[in-house]
A and B are shown apart, each in its own frame.
Chain A
């Protein structure tokens, strides 16, 4: 296939052997001097302490051992193709890796598994798998055909699946209680329950050749949900599924999930979400989570309502009840 050697790159037969640049945001070319790249070689970007963001082109199908190991500043990785193989320690030590963006539609199940095993085998608190290029229904279509266990490797501390506009969609069209899964293996029951729930919602499935927008228009529309509230509370206040947190004399919230992130439902089908303090606190789009509101048990409400309202209004995220 050919060779390519210059000041920054060394590549043979489509395998990138070494990259010596020092960019913070790096987009790997699909081809070097006409030679298409298909593999990021072992240790290729290893120890690049300034690398914050990496974008891998569609042609990259394999990520070698320790390819990004020790990239301590790496926060996000974009896969524009279908990586067939990601070695388990490819992202070892990327302790700031927070988001893995998958831009390809219809990933086969083994690719999901390898991405989880490779990309999430890190020391980070949580990694979000994001699917910016396709809608939630198409994602679910592939999701429904696999077992939940494939998504969460044993060492994965947390998995957070983020679909564009999915929350709005699910609140309006299919009022799911939660679309956040945290806590590795401990989250399996919740994830399995979620998959079961989605399997039961046949109206959410895409028929052969059906466009997503058509499917959305035919999905049943439930009664409009009541207002949504977000409360941040001290993580020591509730630790187990089934714990109850009282945030207001009028609002009783039953804890359904608890691990890093929390989703809860209120009475009468109203949807609430509760995040514990520090949960994904460095996500740029959820800065309000850095605020340390505290809600104690036993009916004592010590959340500062005014301050909370100001914060929510500022970020125009959600309405406080």
Chain B
């Protein structure tokens, strides 16, 4: 086992990263915030994948590489594997983590909800929560894209959270 740090270190850093970009730097430009957060994830994925594949033979096809992400790569990051993998055999893969760690602690700063409308306060809060969650997910999406890109697989990655606490990452390989 290599060096470890407390999980709160990573959690705090991610929370602060998202808040810095989405509320301080680009409060009114969510696209720019999302882009920077994704870029940071991409860099991390690229470097981690480089490290974790050092002693491995080259992957023979896309599926082998995706399986590596689901098993070894995910285990290094989250101490568990991806729970479910689906593919249409035409370059789209859906990786589902049935209990995605980084979503279990996303909380909303109550002070940011100060302007909740009287008509539908719950709805606004919910909306706000889902925006913050989506902003967070740019980071792991970037990690997966960076990791695959390092393996020579250019792709686009998005996240689907319609079944919380499960999270599905949709990988579309560019041909």
Q: Do A and B bind each other?
A: no
Interface residues of B (CB under 8 A from A): none
> A residues engaging B (CB < 8 A)?
none
